[in-house]
Amino acid sequence: MARMYKIRRVLRWDGGWHGYSTSCEITKLSRNRALSIRSNKNKDSSSGGGRHGFSLNSLRGTVQPELSKKLYKLIKSENHLIQCYENAGKERLSVATQLSDWGEATNDDAISDVSDKIGVLLSELGEQEDVYAHNIDDSRAVLKAIRNTEKSVQPSRDHKAKIADEIAKLKAKEPQSARLVTLEQELVRAEAENLVAEAQLTNITRQKLKEAYAAEFAATIERAEKQIILARHGRRILNLLDDTPVVPGDVRPAYEHSNQARQILNDAEDDLKDWQHELEDVPSSAHLEPNLMPREQHNIPQSEIGDESVLHHQHAQGSSDIGVDGSRISSGGSVTTGQPLDSYAPSESEATRSQVV
């Protein structure tokens, strides 16, 4: 805010701010609104409010996979929200310019100085809107990681459903078909691959949802607290303006608070510099590997060999079912890569039988 003392002159030189306009509307929320916005979903969807004009870019949402459509629309809507905050910041600057120009035109030293200092604070409020818009954009970028993962999981779901549908049709037409065995093995592999994809999706969704809105709420708190700082100092400046009525012919005392007004701006600048986050922690337990799986845990292989019963058995046994090199087999007495192990010692009859043989 060291540049604030020059802002009046700069604002006069640059007349471009007057050309800005905004299409955003600010409405007050009813205090008696429902506790959940989902209760009004049908009513809101039936109204035409909040919809944006048609454009070629809006067609991209129609080609999104079904799984990622809703989040795609949400991210798109947040982009419009960001534009609204950017426009609000520009309008603040425009208002600050006009207030400063009007105050000078009154030929009243007190009003001229007070309006100029208030214009400086208003312009700083506008800059806070712009900073907030950029912070929301950063939060929006985090949500894109979830959307991209959803897009990558959809083909896995479709592939699994397609194979299951083929098996159902083939069982109805040719129950003894030899192709059923092949399809069932493909289904086991597809289910295993989908299992990995679904685990990755739920991991990234929880992590990034928490990260995105923790950042947005932190930005909201920063914006609010800095606006409070500026607003409080703005009220201090207003106290420098003597509004005692005068009768015709009386002369107002000379304005002698220019230094105090300048000091208030210095105080506002110092308070903004000294401001620090005082937030409750939002801890995260998401420690993911690059493949989006938990650290220090065995990952599920990308392919499975064997029938479905072996896959379920391996999930039930846990990490002890995984061989040294991560491979699995579907036959024999062990699912490790070493020699088959006997679970129990051979009985005397078995030992005698082996000697006879």
122-145: average pLDDT: 94
pLDDT recorded at residue 123: 94
Strand, helix or coil for residue 339:
coil
Query: Residue 100 belongs to a domain with what CATH number?
Result: 1.20.1270.60
Buried-exposed string 152-175: b where 16+ CB fall within 10 A, e elsewhere? ebbebbebbeebeeebeeeeeeee
Please answer whether residues 351 and 342 qualify as being in contact, where contact means their C-beta atoms are separated by less than 8 angstroms.
no
In a domain, 26, yes or no: no
Cα 98 from Cα 54, distance rounded (Å): 35
Torsion of CA 83, 130, 220, 117, to 10 degrees: -130
In a domain, 298, yes or no: no
Cα 191 from Cα 199, distance rounded (Å): 12
What is the band of 139 on the pLDDT scale with cuts at 50, 70, 90? very high
In a domain, 207, yes or no: yes
Mean pLDDT for the chain overall: 73
pLDDT recorded at residue 126: 95
pLDDT recorded at residue 137: 94
In a domain, 217, yes or no: yes
The region of weakest confidence among 26-30, 46-50, 85-89, 277-281 is: 26-30
Domain that holds residue 139: 67-243+254-274
What is the band of 79 on the pLDDT scale with cuts at 50, 70, 90? very high
DSSP 232-288: HHHHHHHTTS------TT--PPPP--HHHHHHHHHHHHHHHHH-------------B
Of the two residues 296 and 83, the one the predictor is more confident about is: 83
Radius of gyration of the chain (CA): 34
Task: Name the DSSP letter for residue 35.
Answer: S
Query: Above 60 in pLDDT, residue 311?
Result: no
Burial of 118 (0-12, 13-18, 19+ CB in 10 A): buried
Backbone angles phi, psi at 288, to 5 degrees: -105, 145
Cα 205 from Cα 92, distance rounded (Å): 37
Cα 2 from Cα 268, distance rounded (Å): 10
Q: 82-96, 267-281, 293-307, 315-329 — which one is most confidently predicted on average?
A: 82-96
Q: Say how many domains are in the chain.
A: 1
pLDDT tens for 198-230 read 888 888 899 999 999 999 999 999 999 999 999
What is the band of 95 on the pLDDT scale with cuts at 50, 70, 90? very high
* % of the chain residues with pLDDT over 70: 61
In a domain, 135, yes or no: yes
Q: Which amino acid is residue 291, in one-letter code?
A: N
In a domain, 155, yes or no: yes
pLDDT recorded at residue 219: 95
